[in-house]
């Protein structure tokens, strides 16, 4: 079943049932070396699947429920398929009221990666799920548009003295460092040996999901540029689309219709993050040869958006 979260829609199954979780991998065509995030209703429920150290509890008090995932030593109750065979598990208490109600009613931890074919643009609306997985799953729980629109921040706190952000999100490394009182490193994306979206060789198990250098990608080639010049967009052919950070000021661009889109009216990072996947999907479905998108500012508020656009535009697999 697909479920809404404040980040993106997820494809949920009982995280303690290996066969149920195998259904997630089959529906998404997800490689087994890419682990799942376990969603729970409370900190107490998180402690049933992971070993919570003082750093984890401090972050839980500060940011749960919310878009923060903690990587911690797993407990034996969690099947190996959920963790890619590793001794750690990624766990989160989500904020979306519909998903929280579901977690309380079922009384189970739910594994719920993004509800889309593996490697494709994540879904932030129920219709995105329908178009991507509608013939593979039975139910979609409609919770409306996702509030955040980008996947959760993932922080590895197995060693409380050396926390590391594995994937940036709405909660920044600076916010995490302020709570923990220690420096927080940020891991860069890297291509793993044999990494793949579909088919290919088996890769090494990843510590957390969403770490491949190429991910969240439209089928149409996406190219990032520092700035889109209006003259270039006006001169380009009909098979090239443009994605601006903010609404372009040049009124002539309006004549290009659907070939021009923007992430935010005024370049706000939260609004841009909320809209990016929907905009990429719309342009990807437009039959264009290429999508040219502006890079976002190199500021902490744009870190998660820059990460997703960079992975979406990466050429390697």
pLDDT digits (tens, 9 = 90+) for 299-311: 999 999 999 999 9
CA atoms of 111 and 89, how far apart (whole Å)? 11
CA atoms of 212 and 200, how far apart (whole Å)? 14
Domain boundaries, the chain: 2-186, 221-313
The DSSP result for 57-98, as a single string, is: HHHHHHH-SSSEEEEEEBPTTS-GGGTTT-SEEEEE----HH
Q: What value does the mean pLDDT take over residues 71-97?
A: 98
293 neighbors 274 (Cβ within 8 angstroms): no
Distances from the Cα of 145 to the Cα of 1, 12, 275, angstroms = 17, 18, 10
176 neighbors 93 (Cβ within 8 angstroms): no
At a CB cut-off of 8 Å and minimum separation 6, what does 8 contact?
114, 115, 122, 123, 124, 146, 149, 150, 151, 277
pLDDT of residue 214: 85
CA atoms of 308 and 98, how far apart (whole Å)? 26
Q: Which two tokens stand for residue 303?
A: 């870190």
3-state secondary structure of 152: coil
For residue range 191-231, what is the model confidence (pLDDT) as tens digits?
444 344 433 344 688 888 888 888 899 999 999 999 999 99
CATH domain 2-186 topology: DHBP synthase (3.90.870)
Proportion of the chain above pLDDT 70, given as a percent = 95
Give the H or E element holding residue 244: strand 240-246
CA atoms of 116 and 2, how far apart (whole Å)? 10
pLDDT of residue 317: 45
Q: Work out the pLDDT band at 254, boundaries 50, 70, 90.
A: confident
pTM of the model: 0.93
At a CB cut-off of 8 Å and minimum separation 6, what does 170 contact?
7, 66, 67, 148, 150, 152, 153, 270, 273, 304
For residue range 101-147, what is the model confidence (pLDDT) as tens digits?
999 999 999 999 999 999 999 999 999 999 999 999 999 999 999 99
The terminus-to-terminus CA distance of the chain in angstroms comes to 29
CA atoms of 210 and 153, how far apart (whole Å)? 10
CA atoms of 243 and 293, how far apart (whole Å)? 4
CA atoms of 4 and 59, how far apart (whole Å)? 23
More confident residue, 210 or 68: 68
Q: Which two tokens stand for residue 13?
A: 């199954």
Res. 154: pLDDT tops 50: yes
Q: If phi over 0 gives left and psi between -120 and 50 gives alpha, with beta otherwise, what is residue 174?
A: alpha
Distances from the Cα of 158 to the Cα of 8, 57, 73, 152, angstroms = 25, 12, 6, 18
Residue 142: burial class (beta carbons within 10 Å; 0-12, 13-18, 19+): middle
For residue range 267-278, what is the model confidence (pLDDT) as tens digits?
999 999 999 999
């Amino acid at each position: 079943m697909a479920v809404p979260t404040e980040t993106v829609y997820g494809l949920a199954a009982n995280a303690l049932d290996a066969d149920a979780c195998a259904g997630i991998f089959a529906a998404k065509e997800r490689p087994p070396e890419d682990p799942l995030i376990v969603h729970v209703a409370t900190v107490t429920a998180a402690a049933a699947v992971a070993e919570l150290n003082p750093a984890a509890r401090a972050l839980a008090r500060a940011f749960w429920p919310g878009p923060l995932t903690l990587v911690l030593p797993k407990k034996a109750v969690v099947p190996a398929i959920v963790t890619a065979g590793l001794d750690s598990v990624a766990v989160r208490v989500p904020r979306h009221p519909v998903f929280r109600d579901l977690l309380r009613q079922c009384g189970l931890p739910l594994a719920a990666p993004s509800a889309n074919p593996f490697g494709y643009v994540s879904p932030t609306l129920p219709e995105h799920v329908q178009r991507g997985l509608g013939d593979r799953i039975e139910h979609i729980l409609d919770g409306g548009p996702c509030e955040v629109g980008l996947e959760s921040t993932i922080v590895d706190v197995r060693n409380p003295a050396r926390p590391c952000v594995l994937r940036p999100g709405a909660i920044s490394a600076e916010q995490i460092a302020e709570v923990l009182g220690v420096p927080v490193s940020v891991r860069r994306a890297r291509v793993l040996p044999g990494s793949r979206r579909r088919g290919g060789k088996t890769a090494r198990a990843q510590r957390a999901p969403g770490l491949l250098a190429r991910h969240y990608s439209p089928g149409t080639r996406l190219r990032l540029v520092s700035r889109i010049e209006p003259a270039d967009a006006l001169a380009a052919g009909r098979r090239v689309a443009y994605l601006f950070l903010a609404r372009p000021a040049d009124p002539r661009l309006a004549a290009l219709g659907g070939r021009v889109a923007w992430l935010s009216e005024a370049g706000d990072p939260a609004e841009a993050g909320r809209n990016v996947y929907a905009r990429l999907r719309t342009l990807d479905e437009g039959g264009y040869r290429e999508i040219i998108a502006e890079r976002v500012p190199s500021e902490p508020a744009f870190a998660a958006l820059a990460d997703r656009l960079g992975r979406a535009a990466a050429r390697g697999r």
